[in-house]
């Protein structure tokens, strides 16, 4: 095998795409800062037990593992940044009030999470710790939408769900963990036949409620139908009321509901959402409330947030026009070097044409040139 061939689902990012990624990264971080989010930079690797504590088996299978040559302990390359941010909130910041945190950095996956996906996403996310009310849920949802709008993504669809609805339907039901996993899979696939077989011995309210979830997806009328067909428990009623409130006034975004969507079921403790756009193979953004994420670090703080892959976002975000550059001759004259320095300090891109390469074309389109005129160096149109 050639030495230059990269592992499967790992790729170099070439100049044009890299420029676009960096522009989006800056736009996302600036948008989060506008909401009061503070930037944190967790390390790429940690002790494995810290990375995986409380996150479940799925993340463990996605995590690369290696042995630390200094301590002999097992380390992990992060597959998700949220557990690290929860650790930072719990132990390093240790605030009693609200903490708004954001991050942007690579994560590594042992396997791509869907066909043609990279195993090295550039994960951006924002999280709010310390507030259990719906206000934090809504702020995170609005921030996620503003991030996508700022990066000029096409029309958006917000899909809302709530993990508490399914949990309420399982309340008091004794079921084998294996069967529980199969029920979750049947709900996610909307497989009514398999669901009926798996739940035939469940109490009637649970069995009928789970069966009803299969068809509870679509626009806002889904919530009214859910109130009609699901058990009238306080937990389910509260979840539906909150979903209705969260779905209001989201600008031009289309709002849908899928009450059987169980992605991240073991992780989320309340509302969860995905944001979709034409051209993307899956949700661009996933997020929701995960109040238990910090419990393993000794501080069970309310938490809500979202994340996205900036490299995937590049595929659907409108390309930014490249800022035109200034072409300059190569030379050691003090006046020329001073003129180039002034232009660069003013934010201009100045490309010096190295001797013998004057005709080389690169990414930077030069529409002006720095030329000597009457003993002075001036910028003029090409």
* Digit-coded pLDDT (tens) for 194-242: 999 999 989 999 999 999 999 999 999 999 999 999 998 999 999 999 9
pLDDT band for position 172 (cuts 50, 70, 90): confident
User: Rounded to 5 degrees, what angle do the CA atoms 275, 18, 110 make?
Assistant: 65
**Residue 363 backbone dihedrals phi, psi, to 5 degrees:** -65, -30
Q: How would you class 202 by CB atoms within 10 Å of its CB: exposed for 0-12, middle for 13-18, buried for 19 or more?
A: buried
The encoded tokens of residue 121 equal 């996403």
Half-sphere exposure of 285 (CA within 13 A, CB side): 29
Q: How many CA atoms lie within 13 A of 86 on its CB side?
A: 27
Alpha helices in 72-190 (DSSP H): 82-87, 134-150, 163-170, 177-188
Which residue, among 299, 308, 309, 307, has the nearest Cα to 129 in the 3D structure?
299
Average pLDDT over all residues of the chain: 90
Q: For the whole model, what pTM was predicted? A: 0.90
Residues whose CB falls within 8 Å of the CB of residue 345, separated by 6 or more in sequence, listed in order: none
Give strand pairing partners of 353: 329
Residues 333-365: tens digit of each pLDDT: 999 999 999 999 999 999 998 888 877 666 788
Return d(Cα 109, Cα 349) in angstroms, integer: 37
Q: Please tell me the distance from the alpha carbon of residue 196 to that of residue 360, in angstroms, as a whole number.
A: 67
Task: Quickly list DSSP for 293-337.
Answer: TTGGGT----EEEEEEEHHHHHTTSPPPPPPPEEEEE----HHHH
3-class DSSP state for residue 361? coil
Handedness of CA 106, 111, 113, 114 (dihedral sign): positive
The pLDDT-based confidence of 265 (bands split at 50, 70, 90) is: low
Rounded distance between C-alpha atoms, residue 312 and residue 371, angstroms: 42
CA 305 to chain centre: 9
C-alpha span between 268 and 123 (Å, rounded) = 19
Split at pLDDT 50, 70, 90, the class of 55 is low
User: Tens of pLDDT along 105-118?
Assistant: 999 999 998 888 89
Lowest mean pLDDT among 61-65, 88-92, 96-100, 344-348: 88-92
User: Which pLDDT tens digit goes with each residue over 290-329?
Assistant: 987 776 777 788 999 999 999 999 999 988 888 889 999 9
> Are 316 and 152 spatial neighbours (Cβ–Cβ below 8 Å)?
no
C-alpha closest to that of 290 among 280, 301, 279? 301
Contacts for 240 with CB less than 8 Å, ≥ 6 apart = 162, 165, 223, 226, 227
Residue 264 reports pLDDT greater than 80? no
Most confident segment among 79-83, 136-140, 229-233: 136-140
| C-beta atoms surrounding 155 within 10 Å | 10
């Amino acid at each position: 095998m050639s030495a230059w061939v990269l592992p499967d689902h790992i790729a170099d990012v070439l100049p044009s795409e890299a420029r676009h990624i960096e522009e989006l990264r800056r736009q996302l971080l600036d948008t989060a800062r506008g909401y009061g989010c503070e930037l944190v930079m967790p390390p790429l690797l940690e002790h494995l037990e810290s990375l995986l504590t409380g996150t479940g088996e799925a993340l463990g299978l996605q995590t690369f593992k290696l042995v630390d040559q200094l301590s002999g302990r097992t380390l992990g390359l992060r597959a998700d940044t949220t557990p690290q941010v929860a650790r930072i909130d719990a132990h390093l910041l240790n605030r009693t009030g609200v903490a708004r945190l954001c991050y942007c950095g690579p994560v590594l996956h042992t396997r791509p999470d869907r066909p043609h996906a990279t195993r090295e996403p550039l994960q951006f996310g924002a999280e709010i710790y310390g507030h259990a009310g719906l206000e934090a849920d809504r702020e995170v949802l609005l921030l996620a939408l503003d991030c996508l709008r700022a990066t000029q993504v096409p029309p958006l669809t917000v899909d809302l769900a709530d993990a508490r609805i399914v949990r309420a339907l399982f309340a008091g039901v004794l079921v084998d963990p294996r069967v529980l996993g199969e029920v979750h899979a049947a709900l996610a696939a909307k497989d009514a036949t398999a669901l009926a077989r798996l739940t035939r011995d469940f109490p009637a309210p649970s069995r009928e409620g789970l069966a009803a979830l299969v068809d509870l997806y679509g626009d806002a009328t889904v919530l009214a139908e859910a109130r009609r067909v699901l058990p009238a428990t306080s937990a389910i009623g509260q979840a539906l009321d909150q979903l209705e409130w969260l779905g209001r006034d989201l600008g031009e975004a289309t709002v849908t509901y899928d009450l059987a969507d169980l992605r991240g079921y073991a992780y989320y403790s309340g509302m969860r959402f995905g944001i979709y756009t034409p051209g993307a193979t899956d949700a661009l953004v996933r997020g929701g409330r995960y109040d238990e994420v910090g419990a393993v670090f000794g501080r069970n703080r309310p938490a809500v947030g979202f994340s996205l892959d900036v490299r995937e976002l590049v595929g659907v975000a409108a390309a930014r026009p490249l800022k035109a550059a200034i072409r300059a001759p190569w030379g050691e004259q003090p006046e020329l070097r001073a003129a180039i320095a002034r232009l660069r300090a003013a934010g201009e891109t100045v490309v010096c044409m190295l001797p013998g390469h004057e005709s080389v074309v690169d990414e930077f389109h030069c529409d002006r040139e720095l030329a000597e005129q009457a003993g002075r160096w001036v910028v003029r149109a090409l």
